[in-house]
Structures are given as structure tokens and as C-alpha cells.
């Protein structure tokens, strides 16, 4: 489910993420050579990750990425570098991970270089790896569901269970495993 986002893990491992736009050497504060506010020029990999994250989030409103601050708060986190970077995500669900990623990218809009901090301290990679783990777990659960369904199909075809028993068992199985039939 999250492949469009997690595909960036390898690219980020060898990436420099971005660099600060340096002040021109001839900047002296005059109208001809003004000073400018520093900002980070992000790498193509980071720009593509941002595009893929927001494209994914827009296509999956169930993750409520526009309410990332509320999602962070519900999980005892603050929208800030320390709280987000030090978050224990070992059991975090995908909604929280999407909120952390969204929060990191949105922080850049308010504080130049904030995203660079999350990238350099390894938080973004950790969050992406957690999404990858969630995907892997979901695939394992789905494979188990399909094996269980095949078994029910065999029971039905051999007459070991009735159609009514089959329907109830399949419904209960799907509900417990969060699958759709």
C-alpha cells in the first residue's frame, strides 16, 4: 500500500538531502546586492518523496493527513523536532507515521531547514521503514486470510459445512482480519 512512499528509502540512504542556499559573496545589503533569507535547496529525491507523500495522502483520506497535528497530539506527541524525532514508533500505526511525515514536511513551510533536521537525524528513514514493516505485516495477514478462506472453500465443497456455516465463518474471519469479501 505504501510502496509509492517507501520506495525512497534506498535513495535517501545515499542522498545529501539538500544544502543551504548560500549568501552571495557580493551581498552587502544595498538594493543592488541585497541580503536574502537563507533556505534549503532540497535534492530531487526529497522533492519526489514530498510529491509522492502528498499524492498518496490525497488519494487516501482515511489517514487524515490534514489533521496531522491532532493525530500527533492523540499519540502524546507535539509538533516539534524533539517530540517527533524521539517518538517510539515500534507499534505505531500507519496513520501516525503519515502524520509524522506530513508534520516534518509542513514544518519546512514555517521554519527553513526543519525538514533537513528530520532527514539528517534519521527520523524520516525510520518512519519510512515503519511503513514498510506495516506493509509487510498486512501482506502476511492477507496471505493467511486467503489460506483460511481456501480451507473454508474446501469444507463447503466437500459438504463438511453448510452454506450458512460457510457464510458466517467467512464473515467472522474477514471481520477479525480486517479484510473485505
| Any domain includes 166 | no
State the pTM of this model.
Answer: 0.75
Exposure string (b/e) for 16-29, b if CB count within 10 Å is 16 or more? Answer: ebbeeeeeeeeeee
Q: Which three cell numbers stand for residue 149?
A: 478462506
- Answer whether residue 123 is part of any domain: yes
Question: Is 157 a domain residue?
Answer: no
How many domains are there within the chain?
Answer: 1
Q: Is the pLDDT of residue 26 over 90?
A: no
Residue 160, in any domain of the structure: no
pLDDT range class, residue 98, cuts 50, 70, 90: very high
* pLDDT band per the 50, 70, 90 thresholds, residue 4: very high
92 domain-assigned = yes
pLDDT of residue 117: 95
153's grid cell: 472453500
Residue 172 within a domain: no
In a domain, 145, yes or no: no
| Per-residue model confidence as pLDDT tens digits over 37-91 | 888 999 999 999 999 999 999 999 998 888 999 999 999 999 999 999 999 999 9
* Structural domain contains residue 151: no
Domain of residue 56, residue span: 3-130
Q: Do the beta carbons of residue 8 and residue 128 sit within 8 Å?
A: yes
Amino acid at each position: 500500500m505504501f510502496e509509492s512512499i517507501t520506495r525512497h528509502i534506498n535513495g535517501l540512504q545515499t542522498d545529501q538531502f539538500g544544502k543551504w542556499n548560500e549568501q552571495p559573496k557580493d551581498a552587502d545589503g544595498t538594493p543592488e546586492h541585497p541580503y536574502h533569507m537563507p533556505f534549503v535547496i532540497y535534492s530531487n529525491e526529497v522533492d519526489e518523496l514530498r510529491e509522492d507523500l502528498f499524492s498518496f495522502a490525497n488519494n487516501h483520506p482515511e489517514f487524515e493527513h490534514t489533521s496531522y497535528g491532532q493525530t500527533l497530539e492523540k499519540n502524546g506527541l507535539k509538533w516539534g523536532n524533539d517530540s517527533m524525532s524521539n517518538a517510539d514508533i515500534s507499534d505505531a500505526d500507519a496513520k501516525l507515521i503519515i502524520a509524522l511525515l506530513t508534520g516534518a514536511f509542513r514544518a519546512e513551510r514555517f521554519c527553513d531547514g526543519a525538514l533537513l533536521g528530520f532527514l539528517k537525524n534519521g527520523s524520516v528513514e525510520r518512519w519510512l521503514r515503519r511503513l514498510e514493516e506495516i506493509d509487510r505485516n498486512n501482506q502476511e495477514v492477507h496471505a493467511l486470510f486467503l489460506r483460511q478462506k481456501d480451507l473454508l472453500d474446501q469444507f463447503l465443497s466437500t459438504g463438511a459445512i453448510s452454506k450458512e456455516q460457510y457464510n458466517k465463518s467467512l464473515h467472522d474471519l474477514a471481520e477479525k482480519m480486517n479484510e473485505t469479501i
